[in-house]
Amino acid sequence: MTAGSREETWRRLCDLRIRLRDRCEEALPLGTLADELAVSGSRFLRRFRAVFGATPHALQSEARMARACALLRQSTLPVTEVCFEVGYRSLGSFSTAFSRRMGCSPRTFRARAGSEGPDSPHDCFARMG
Partner 1 sequence: MRITLVSIHVEDQDRALAFYRDVLGFVPKVDIPMGKFRWLTVVTPDRPEGPELVLEPNAHPAARAYQDALLRDGIPMNSFEVDDVDAEHRRLRERGVEFTRPPSDAGPVRIAVFADTCGNLIQIHARRPAG
* Binding positions for partner 1, rule: CB under 8 A: 7, 10-11, 14-15, 17-18, 21, 47, 50-54, 62, 116-124, 127-128
Q: Which is nearer to partner 1, 6 or 107 (CB)?
A: 6
Q: Which is nearer to partner 1, 32 or 116 (CB)?
A: 116
Q: Which is nearer to partner 1, 1 or 50 (CB)?
A: 50
- Closest distance of CB 35 from partner 1, Å: 21
Which residue pairs, CB below 8 angstroms and at least 24 apart, start in 105-111?
106/68, 106/72, 106/79, 106/82, 107/79, 109/69, 109/72, 109/73, 110/72, 110/73, 110/79
Q: What letter represents residue 40's amino acid? A: S
State CA 48 to chain mean position distance.
15
- Closest distance of CB 120 from partner 1, Å: 5
Give the N- to C-terminal CA distance of the chain in Å, as an integer: 54
Q: Which is nearer to partner 1, 89 or 122 (CB)?
A: 122
- Closest distance of CB 11 from partner 1, Å: 6
SS3 letters across 31-46:
HHHHHHCCCCHHHHHH
- Closest distance of CB 128 from partner 1, Å: 8
